Amino acid sequence: MNLYNTIMSYFWLAVACVSFVTVTYLCFTEGFDKYASNYVFAIIALATFFVKRWMMNRVGNHQQFLKDKSNENQG
């Protein structure tokens, strides 16, 4: 499951980068006022990347806490 979460985390980072580059290109070629609102998609994908990383760290810390607590109760 950890491998899947890592892959999906970097997937969202890649989506954010591709979206940003694509929207920037379209803004320069066809007009900024026409495509500027599409930067929202890049921002959402980047936010998803950071939230996913934060949650992965949080779940990892909680699993370690539960493991330590279980070892404490057994020993």
Distance, CA of 73 to CA of 39 (rounded, Å): 51
How do the domains of the chain map onto residue ranges? 2-74
All residues at 6 or more sequence positions from 23 whose CB lies less than 8 Å from its CB, including other chains: 35, 36, 38, 39, 41, 42
Position 75 pLDDT exceeds 70: no
pLDDT tens for 38-72 read 999 999 999 999 999 999 999 999 999 999 999 98
- The pLDDT value recorded for residue 61 is 94
- The model carries a pTM of 0.84
Give residue 73's pLDDT.
Answer: 86
Query: What's the mean pLDDT when you consider all of the chain?
Result: 94
